[in-house]
């Protein structure tokens, strides 16, 4: 069929952390637009548009990466913005996951080969976006820590400047 699908691998955010992040998002002033808490995730590998006849290869890459990596902990902390200089466009929480988080992202990217985008992995959790030059940095510290026992392959469908996410498959770490 070769219908393109917009895919990415990501870590899911626990419900209790989502609730805290949703409360924070409600306090943001314009021009920040808070991320949908139900769709918050930590992207490990973004593939963009992939023809659906390659889905088996994408899933096999996830299975292989999951078989190599043990459970680990991640922690969110201070806020920061992209880009680091100039007008902020993305407000995010910094994510620490030690060498294991980076190893998981690298393993997925290596196994996905041509399918993965060329961007360097930077662990972060997007909290809000802005399309205005008036956006200011927002200083906030978060205290969220959880054990990662799996990651997910997600399909993203973009409609009218928003996206809906559909879970395709979860992969349990060894």
Q: What pLDDT score does 135 carry? A: 81
Task: State the Cα–Cα distance between residues 116 and 99, nearest whole angstrom.
Answer: 20
Q: What pLDDT score does 61 carry? A: 97
- The pTM of the full predicted model, rounded to 2 decimals, is 0.92
Please give the distance of CA 130 from its chain centroid, rounded to a whole number: 18
Task: State the Cα–Cα distance between residues 125 and 11, nearest whole angstrom.
Answer: 10
Block means of pLDDT (10 residues each) for the chain, length 174 residues?
Answer: 89 94 92 92 94 95 98 95 88 95 97 92 94 81 92 91 88 96
Catalytically active residues are 41, 124
Assess contact for 96 and 138: CB atoms under 8 A. Answer: no
Return the CATH number of 4-149, one of 3.90.1580.10, 3.90.1140.10, 3.40.309.10, 3.40.50.620: 3.90.1140.10
Q: What pLDDT score does 46 carry? A: 96
Helix, strand, coil percentages, rounded to 5, for the chain: 30, 40, 30
């Amino acid at each position: 069929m070769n219908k393109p699908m917009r895919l990415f691998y990501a870590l899911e955010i626990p419900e209790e952390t989502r609730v805290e992040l949703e409360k924070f998002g409600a306090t943001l002033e314009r021009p920040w637009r808070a991320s949908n808490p139900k769709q918050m995730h930590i992207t490990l590998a973004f593939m963009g548009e992939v023809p659906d006849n390659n889905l088996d290869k994408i899933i096999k890459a996830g299975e292989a990466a999951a078989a190599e990596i043990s459970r680990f902990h991640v922690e969110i902390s201070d806020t920061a913005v992209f880009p680091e200089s100039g007008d902020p466009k993305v407000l995010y929480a910094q994510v620490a996951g030690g060498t294991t988080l980076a190893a998981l992202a690298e393993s997925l990217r290596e196994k996905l080969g041509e399918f993965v985008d060329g961007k360097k992995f930077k662990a972060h959790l997007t909290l809000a976006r802005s399309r205005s030059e008036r956006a200011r940095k927002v200083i906030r510290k978060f205290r969220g820590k959880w054990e990662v026992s799996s990651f997910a392959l997600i399909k993203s469908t973009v409609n009218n400047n928003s996206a809906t996410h559909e879970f395709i498959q979860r992969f349990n770490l060894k």
